[in-house]
Amino acid sequence: MNTMRSCVETLLILFATCMECRGQDSVKQPKSFQSAYEEEGSVTLDCKYNTTSSNPTLLWYRQNSYDSPKYILRRHKFGDGDEASEFKGRFHSRHDSTSKSVPLTIENPRVSDSALYYCALQPTVTTGYTELEQKPT
């Protein structure tokens, strides 16, 4: 008697979409790699943007290996923005509308700060869904 086994695989698809993006909207992080010595001074990661929005909002995220990106902070052209509680104190940013930049400064960098850092122009929407597929083996 043949027994057919089946296995269920989970496929996770993540994609980013922009609800109101215009062709001119963009974000650029000029340096792809930056290093610093632990607990010495600070390190600044640059983020330049171009948008047709009159009140742009920019966000910073950090992604460690094998983790999803974590929200660090948000800066508006007008107003203060906000920060995630775990990054308050050592992570700072200011919105410079003249140079169209939102640099992220990390005070007293630590080895644990080693990660990928992303700058994003809002609106940014990340959507994920899970699809199950059954395949005979």
Residues 3-27 have pLDDT tens digits of: 443 333 333 333 333 334 445 788 8
CATH superfamily of 6-32+39-126: Immunoglobulins (2.60.40.10)
pLDDT class of 124 with cuts at 50, 70, 90: low
pLDDT > 70: percent of the chain: 72
Query: Dihedral sign, CA of 29, 74, 96, 90?
Result: negative
pLDDT class of 41 with cuts at 50, 70, 90: confident
Beta strands in 77-124, from DSSP E residues, in sequence order: 82-83, 91-93, 104-107, 116-121
> What letters, b where the CB count within 10 A reaches 16 and e where it falls short, cover 26-62?
ebeeeeeeeebeeeeeebebebbbebeeeebbbbbbb
Greater model confidence, 76 or 137? 76
Greater model confidence, 37 or 70? 70
Asked if residue 122 has pLDDT above 50, the reply is yes
pTM, rounded to two decimals: 0.70
Q: How many CB atoms lie within 10 A of CB 74?
A: 20
Mean pLDDT taken over the chain: 75
pLDDT at 47: 92
- How many Å apart are CA 76 and CA 39, to the nearest integer? 29
pLDDT class of 37 with cuts at 50, 70, 90: confident
